[in-house]
Structure 1
Amino acid sequence: MPVHPAREVIGVLGFPFSKGQTYDGTEQAPHYLRDAGIIKNLQAQGNTVVDHGDVNLESLPVDEPNTDIRNPKSVGTANKKLSDAISRILKTNQSVLTLGGDHSMAIGSIHGHAQVEPNLVVVWVDAHADINTPLTSISRNIHGMPLAFLAKELQEYMPDMPEFDWCKPCISVRDIVYIGLRDVDPSEKVFIEKFGILAHYMEDVEKYGVKELIERSLSQIDPSGTRPIHVSFDVDGMDPALTPATGTPVPGGLSLKDCCYLAEEIAITGRLSVLDIAEVNPLLSSEEDRNLTMTNTVNVTTKFYGNRRKSITPPDYELPRPQ
């Protein structure tokens, strides 16, 4: 099944980066996810996959330790490189699977996507809203701010940050839908309510079910059913029992069944253009928990590209007959 009407090849791109938050480890996630078989599993489904390696982040600038926001130079420079790489791959008629990396990666990923497909919509699967500004953030970590850099309506609340001069706001709050929220800062709640951002908290998932929410979400942000879809999938959107190897786990998250159904429904649209996998941290768990996280992350990722739980008859399959 094609990934996108004009994008039948999946381009895999690693973003080995951890400066958007305080824990080392997310920079190792692309390596671990490849070792866990993410590419082999996609190919086994019949997908054509091109591995573009990792974004080269060897020469990032060094940040002053006393800045109000942590690591703005390195985060800004790394995401500019990611944005350029995403755009280049999309221009070759490939979709992109981006293996992060902390969730600051969404700045570069969505920005690069919008340079090629400005009509995109964003499905944000996460326990957190990640729409703090540098002025409202409690943690000062940019992985909690990516949507503030990208949304046009929030620019009046953003301070001048020369490190991100390249990142011109490229989406509207009307292009965003959240799924799985359960740890939202007060300022983020104000932004969500002020701008009417479509937000589904875990209470909504439990009340209505993922099936109704994803149908409602796609029909609201893309009533014509024609717009390219960008999914930014933070593994902490899942319940920590399923993905314990992550930096900011929040109990009571999405089940494996929820995530598989969501991914399968996105795949059925044929319009998935870019998928981010964010916040896998192999260093924050035991080997057993790390392996569990990798297994569940790979499982859900493959569902976005046509791996259905419902069996599909292979093409040209003939039942064997006795001779």
Structure 2
Amino acid sequence: MPFITENKKVGLLGIPFSKGQPRGGTEQGPQAIREAGIVEKLEQLGTQVCDHGDLTFDYIENDTPDGNVKNPRTVGHANKKISKAVSDIIYNGQLCLNLGGDHSMAMGTIHGHAQVEPDLVVVWVDAHADINTPLTSPSGNIHGMPLSFIVKELDGYVPTVKGFEWVKPCLSVKDLVYIGLRDVDPGERWIIEKFGIKAFSMQEVDKLGIREVMEQALKAIDPSGTRPIHLSFDVDALDPTITPSTGTPVHGGLSFREGQYIMEELANTGRLNCIDVAEVNPSLGNKEENTLTTETTLEVLNKCFGQKRGGGFPSNYVMPRAEKTRTSCSSTKSH
């Protein structure tokens, strides 16, 4: 079986951003993933990669909180820029692969994707729900709020925040599914239950198994099997024993095998259209932990592009033929 069935170009976009949370270092994530060989690995799979480089961001001085929201103007303006860049890549027919960066970037990536593909669905693989509103967030850190700004049903629960005037809700709760949750705030739990968002915590993963989780998840958001998929993957969805260099680790996460299976099943749909990789933080942990985190991330990510654990070959692979064929021999019985 080939690695990939469709020779679609991948538009690689670096989003070196960290102001959606208090720990510096996620701005180094794109470079760490690049240095780990993301481009080379994708090309080995027969994928055409168009590297759009890294976005640059303006950090607004004296960006005082707006209510409970920290760094609102910096994060808001950054996500507006992210939305435009993602929209341009997808408009040009490329699968957009976003290397973050903290998870506040997903506000911009999903918004940008929706400008081109308004019928999209979102698979959110994360230890956290990231759907706090500015009024329910315990911390005020926007990397825990990105979904609340773009979910239509929460429009009446989200106050106006300086820097976010441009954001228009573009995603319905029925088009969102969570996988891997295990650290959910009370306000987020209320939202999930109030609006019936399909959510598979680690308890459901343990109970049902990852195969059943994926079947139910995809059926819930796309029963017709026709809609473009946006994958937003926070590396803290995986257990911190395999991705230690991240800002908000939570024990009891997805195993390496479960992470790979999720990506394999998404790749099998043939409808992955945009992928976020968030919260790789090389400033946390030692060299060995950094290497483990990036290598694990790449191995899991490769499965999105059709890499098979059972082996495969690039779509352009040509089997070499021998110049001289061997002569077969037959055995005979001696009497």
Change (3 A) 1:66 1:152: closer
Which aligned pairs between 1:48-197 and structure 2 lie closer than 5 A? Answer: 48-57=48-57, 59-67=58-66, 68-197=68-197
Give CA deviations for 1:138-188 in whole Å, capped at 9, x if unaligned. 010000001100100011111111311111000001000000000000110
**Kept after mapping to 2: 8 A contact 1:239/1:251:** yes
The separation in 2 between residues aligned to 1:110 and 1:66, in whole angstroms, is 24
Q: Deviation digits for residues 196-248 of structure 1, max 9, x if unmatched?
A: 00000001101111111111111111011000000000000000001000000
- Inter-CA distance 224–317: structure 2 relative to 1 (3 Å threshold): same
1:275-323 deviation digits (Å, cap 9, x = unpaired): 0000000001110000000000011111101111111256442565666
| Identity in percent | 54
Note if contact 2:247-2:279 (Cα within 8 Å) is conserved in structure 1. yes
C-alpha spacing 1:170/1:4, structure 2 compared with 1 (3 Å): farther
* TM-score (norm. length: structure 2): 0.92
Q: Could you tell me how far 1:65 is from its partner in structure 2?
A: 3.8
SS of aligned partner of 1:277: strand
| 2:233 is aligned with 1:251 | no
For residues 73 and 3 of structure 2, the distance between their equivalents in structure 1, rounded to whole angstroms, comes to: 38
Residue of structure 2 equivalent to 1:14: 14
Q: Does the alignment pair 1:284 with 2:287? A: no
Rg (Cα) greater in structure = 2
Separation in 2, partners of 1:277, 1:85: 16
| One-letter code aligned to 1:215 | E
Q: Which deviates more from structure 2 when the two are superposed, residues 313-322 or residues 29-38? A: 313-322
2:51 is paired with a residue whose SS is strand
AA matched with 1:137: S
8 A contact 1:4–1:95 mirrored in 2: no
* CA distance, structure 1, for counterparts of residue 29 and residue 220 of structure 2: 34
1:131, distance to aligned residue in structure 2 (A): 0.4
- Uncovered stretches (5+) of structure 2, i.e. residues with no partner: 327-335
Do the aligned residues in 2 keep the contact of 1:3 with 1:273 (CA within 8 Å)?
no
Cα RMSD for the two superposed structures: 1.6
Separation of aligned partners in 2, 1:271 and 1:108: 20
Question: 1:76 and 1:4, CA in 2 relative to 1: closer, same or farther beyond 3 A?
Answer: farther
User: C-alpha displacement at 1:60, in angstroms?
Assistant: 3.2
- Contact kept? 2:4, 2:45, Cα under 8 Å: no
Partner of 1:317: 319
Q: Is 1:233 aligned to 2:233, yes or no?
A: yes
Give secondary structure in 2 for the equivalent of 1:163.
coil
Specify the code of the residue in structure 2 equivalent to 1:309: R
Residues 49-83 of structure 1, C-alpha deviation per residue, up to 9 Å, x if partnerless? 010001121x3322434543110000000000000
Q: What is the rounded CA distance, in whole Å, between the counterparts of 1:316 and 1:35 in structure 2?
A: 29
CA distance in 1, matches of 2:325, 2:295: 39
Residue 3 of structure 2 contacts residue 312 of structure 2 at CA under 8 Å; is this kept in 1? no
- In the alignment, residue 102 of structure 1 is paired with which amino acid? D
CA distance in 2, matches of 1:181, 1:283: 25
How many residue pairs end up in the alignment? Answer: 321
1:296 aligns with 2:296: yes
User: Residues 220 and 182 of structure 1: is their aligned pair in 2 closer, same or farther, counting only changes over 3 Å?
Assistant: same
Provide the C-alpha distance between the structure 1 equivalents of 2:44 and 2:312, rounded to a whole number of angstroms.
Answer: 14
- Cα distance in 1 for partners of 2:62, 2:121 equals 33
Counterparts of 2:3 and 2:14 in 1: how far apart (Å)?
22
The residue type equivalent to 2:319 in the other structure is Y
Question: Residues 41 and 302 of structure 1 are in contact (CA less than 8 Å); yes or no, is this contact kept in structure 2?
Answer: yes
Cα displacement (A) at 1:39: 1.0
Q: For 1:62, give the aligned amino acid.
A: E
**Aligned-partner SS, 2:266:** helix
Report the residue type matching 2:120 in the other structure.
Answer: L
Measure the CA separation in 2 of the matches of 1:308 and 1:112. 30
